[in-house]
Amino acid sequence: MLTFGKQDLCGGVAYIYLTAVFMNTLSRDIKERTNQISKMQWSLYLLILMGQCCFFTCRLYEYHFIAENKSWYEAQRYCREKYTDLAKVFDMTDMSRLRNSTQNQGEAWIGLNNNTGGNRMWHWSLPGVEYIQNDSSWNLSGRAYWEYPGNCVRKRDKLADVSCNTMTWFICYDEMKKDNKTLYLITTPMNWTQAQTYCRYNHTDLASGLDQVDGEEMKALFAGRVMSVWIGLFRDSWRWSDGSDFSFRYWDMQLFNDEQSNKTCAMTLLNRSGKWSSDECDKEKPFFCYDDNLILVGENKTWEEALYYCRENYNDLVSITNSDEQNWIQEKVKEANSTYVWLGLRYTCTLGFWFWVTDEVVKYKNWGSDVTTDGCDMSGAINAGSPHEWSKQADNKKFNFICSKK
């Protein structure tokens, strides 16, 4: 037999009263909101509410270790037939996932090769930052007499490419914004690769992107100083098998020699923390494939049509729940033939907030700075061009869209 004290009884009465008030308010709100969502068909509303619940973050891509010895090109063909392609690596998080996908401690091919005839491209060291040519930032005639042209960039008043073996100070970027700053001047001279390793271990990476390199915080570091410092800009002729423009490199500089013209395929050295070196492409080794769980649909559809299409043919419209997923998806949208690409992001006037149709809460955000982020009959899209920020768009507009496969 249950017994209740006076406080329990009062609490119970209060609970019943508040519940009644809440249910009455909810009922009234539903009646009012019914008219507000008349433009959004009830079938769509129910479809969103009954979408597949996802109580974990689904990986946008997966790594697979293949314990068969093949040449680099045989491995490439195998991966393209069975999965998506030879493995590509976006950042250190990916490297950890790659290493953890096998107990093997030997060498294994990855999807990086140097068969471009020496055609070098500029990259920023920090993953996800795209290089855009800006001639006003450079002064190639401003090199000192001891500085030779090279493949790494130092900043003085302007930028210049110099030998990566030059020993100099450098600027690290730290995304945690400690002490209300993101840039740190390191006054221990190092070559470019050593500086990159130091920054990745102690901060986030070398300073990357013109917003950092030419910004006010950088100017403050240079105030009253005449100095040359490494920044995170480099060029090389290595390319990913699937054509991606990922800039991440993890070379083991004790073993890797970029001048060895006969060693043009990259491998990960699992017994050396997964760092990379290169070998002759016809050597046979095990290898890593990756499987992309996203598909960019190059048809222009309204947001509702895109939602139905993804759920009927794949799994759902894609969600972006962290910066790694943002960076992976922004590489995908470069292939779009529309200005924007629909995401599984929807605004509910009924409850007054944005949500992912896969039931994830919108914690990570990448809205454009000039975007007001509310509005009925609006859905979220990502800009297909740089800087790939999110934008609210009327859901009757037609764009390409990205579906998740699982």
Contacts of 101 (CB under 8 A, 6+ apart): 63, 64, 65, 288
What's residue 259's pLDDT?
A: 73
The pLDDT assigned to 373 comes to 61
pLDDT value for 116: 67
Convert the pLDDT of each residue in 24-57 to its tens digit: 543 444 344 444 444 444 444 444 444 443 333 3
- Give pLDDT, residue 180: 79
d(CA 302, CA 377): 12
Dihedral over Cα of 99, 105, 107, 108: its sign? negative
For 259-270, what is each residue's pLDDT tens digit?
767 899 999 999
Question: What are the structural domains, with CATH classification, of the chain?
Answer: 48-58+293-404 (3.10.100.10), 61-118+238-291 (3.10.100.10), 121-236 (no CATH)
Q: How far apart are CA 172 and CA 198, in angstroms?
A: 8
Query: 190-241: per-residue pLDDT in tens?
Result: 999 999 999 999 999 999 999 999 999 999 999 988 899 999 999 999 999 9
Long-range pairs, 142-150, Cβ under 8 A, ≥24: none
> What confidence score (pLDDT) does residue 103 get?
87
Residue 142: name the closest of 169, 155, 154, 160 by CA. 160
pTM of the predicted structure, to 2 decimals: 0.75
Tokens of 242: 């699937």
What is residue 24's predicted lDDT score, i.e. its pLDDT?
Answer: 52
User: What residues in the chain have per-residue pLDDT under 70?
Assistant: 1-58, 116, 118, 140-141, 145, 260, 370-374
Specify the pLDDT at position 88.
95
- Identify the pLDDT of residue 278: 95
What would you report as the CA-atom Rg of the chain, rounded to the nearest whole angstrom?
Answer: 26
Q: Residue 271 has what pLDDT?
A: 92
- Print the SS3 string covering the chain: CCCCCHHHHHHHHHHHHHHHHHHHHHHHHHHHHHHHCCCCCHHHHHHHHCCCCCCCCCCCEEEEEEEEEECHHHHHHHHHHHCCEECCCCCHHHHHHHHHCCCCCCEEEEEEECCCCCCCEEEECCCCCCCCCCHHHECHHHCCCCCCCCCEEEECCCEEEECCCCCEEEEEECCCCHHHCCEEEEEEEECHHHHHHHHHHHCCEECCCHHHHCCHHHHHHHCCCCCCEEEEEEEECCEECCCCCCCCCCECCCCCCCCCCCCCEEEEEHHHCCCEEEECCCCCEEEEEEEECEEEEEEEECHHHHHHHHHHHCCEECCCCCHHHHHHHHHHHCCCCCCEEEEEEEEECCCCEEEECCCCCCCCCCECCCCCCCCCCEEEEEECCCCCCEEEEECCCCEEEEEECC
Both structure tokens of 263: 């060693």
